[in-house]
Amino acid sequence: MNFNLLPLLVIWIALALVVLALFLWRQMIARSEDDSLHVMHGTLTQQTSLAQKLDAIDKWGKPLTVVVVVLGLLIAAAYIYGQLVGRSSLGA
């Protein structure tokens, strides 16, 4: 059995880059986050807006991270399986 894992690997790399971009974007936005709650001077709306942006990024980032990890594990398992099957067919 000969598996061509290159298309899956390209998809995995693209998804991993998207997850990395989301992580970096979230870090840039969260850099200006203030951990204290300010209810005076109209800053509550700024904090709410920032929290909504971070939630939107997390909405996509968390599931995509799970997909990248699972796909990476499946690709690794398929590669290992292919190597084991290749070795056993050579010895037979």
| pLDDT 10s digits, 46-64 | 778 888 999 999 999 999 9
Domain boundaries, the chain: 1-29+52-87
Q: Which residue has the tokens 């942006």?
A: 53
Beta strands in the chain (DSSP E): none
Average pLDDT over residues 65-78: 96
What is the pTM assigned to this prediction?
A: 0.77
Type of residue at 14: A
Mean pLDDT of the chain: 86
